[in-house]
Amino acid sequence: MRRPLVGLVAAALLVSVTAACGSSDSAEPADSSGDGDTTTIDLAVIPIVDVAPIYLGVEQGFYEEQGIELNLVTAQGGAAIVPGVTSGQYQFGFSNVTSLMLAQSNNVPVKAVANGVASTGEDGADFGGIVVKGDSPLESAADLEGKKVAVNTLKNIGDTSVRESVRKAGGDPDAVEFVEMAFDQMPAALDQGQIDAAWVVEPALAVVKSQGGRVIASNFVDLAPDLTVAVYFASAEYAEKNPELVAKFQEATKASLAYANNNPDEVREILSSYTKIPADLLSEITLPKWPTEPNRASLDTLAELGANDGLFSTEPDLDALLP
């Protein structure tokens, strides 16, 4: 029998990665019972398909078995979550890897503690992509030159991977105009002509397709085979001070990732509890992969492209960043 979800809080964090320089001295467990058997921790996530394993892991009791009660908080993107974690507002967070590389290059100490989500590696059949309206004249990523393209956060994995798709298609990536927008707002903005294209992930991708939209490029696939897209992380100080709790979180998260991979129907079902996906579109969603370990080669490529785009003030240290 499934266990009920715990502590889901809908909160929008309108903060930037530049605010992430606050001290993490207060990054202690949010609460614990008197006998020390259960620790409540805050985990900041994004309401997208990527984090479905966490919700399933709560239902299946994987975190409870490790003595952890998760309080789930939602945010627009990894760039918003990073400062919340490093300031001690949350003990753990979910973020695309570029956000963490960017934070690290700005001397914000972050540490990945568990793998998050990966591309399917299949062109035209990934859980994210660059989409346009069905009647749009745009046919490939090269056509995005001079066009307005929505991404959930600027200077991040979205625009870095879109740039690579444009580059591979023979276009000029520097000629793309990127605009910041929440994933769940993109289908309507695209349909109303407010933007020319959008980088979306599920479940927004299924919504765009239901409106007649088309995928013109699979940007994660263009960037690297089997790209590790995002991970779960803590501040470096918190991870160092709380090794036992981090190890328990890692164990529960690995079990959750494996469960999601093996139970796609339950993944689709759980999405309706924390996203705005219409029930009739659940079967249309393309699920990502949830490996328990990151693909280092893909992250080396991501770091190189981010450096070429001028995102990093110093070269990211992946050995220090990754689990």
pLDDT at residue 60 above 80?
Answer: yes
Q: What value does the mean pLDDT take over residues 46-53?
A: 94
Residues 26 and 109 in one domain: yes
Q: What confidence tier does 75 reach under pLDDT thresholds 50, 70, 90? A: confident
Assign 156 to helix, strand or coil: coil
Residues 61 and 101 in one domain: yes
pLDDT at residue 18 above 70?
Answer: no
Using one digit for the tens of pLDDT, what is the confidence trace for 162-195? 999 999 999 999 999 999 999 999 999 999 999 9
Residues 94 and 39 in one domain: yes
Using one digit for the tens of pLDDT, what is the confidence trace for 82-98? 999 999 999 999 999 99
Residues 244 and 99 in one domain: yes
Residues 47 and 165 in one domain: no
Residues 192 and 236 in one domain: no
pLDDT value for 222:
97
* Percent of the chain topping pLDDT 90: 81
Which neighbouring-strand residues pair with 200?
129
**Is 320 inside any structural domain?**
no
pLDDT at residue 45 above 90?
Answer: yes
Count of domains forming the chain:
2
pLDDT at residue 79 above 80?
Answer: no
Residues 232 and 113 in one domain: yes
Residues 181 and 140 in one domain: yes
pLDDT value for 228:
98
Which residues span the domain enclosing 208? Answer: 128-223
Assign 306 to helix, strand or coil: helix
In CATH, what number is assigned to the domain containing residue 59?
3.40.190.10
Average pLDDT, the chain: 89
How far apart are the C-alpha atoms of 82 and 110, rounded to whole Å?
Answer: 8
| Residue 5 near residue 59, CB atoms below 8 Å | yes
Neighbours of 26 (CB within 10 A): 10
Q: What value does the mean pLDDT take over residues 50-54?
A: 97
Q: What confidence tier does 237 reach under pLDDT thresholds 50, 70, 90? A: very high
pLDDT value for 37:
81
Residues 137 and 168 in one domain: yes
End-to-end CA distance of the chain: 32
**Is 315 inside any structural domain?**
no
pLDDT value for 77:
73
pLDDT value for 12:
32
pLDDT value for 140:
98
How far apart are the C-alpha atoms of 321 and 97, rounded to whole Å?
Answer: 9
pLDDT value for 36:
57
How far apart are the C-alpha atoms of 264 and 289, rounded to whole Å?
Answer: 10
Q: What value does the mean pLDDT take over residues 14-27?
A: 34
Query: What DSSP designation does 3 have?
Result: P
How far apart are the C-alpha atoms of 302 and 299, rounded to whole Å?
Answer: 5
Q: What is the pTM of this model?
A: 0.85
pLDDT at residue 24 above 50?
Answer: no
Residues 108 and 167 in one domain: no
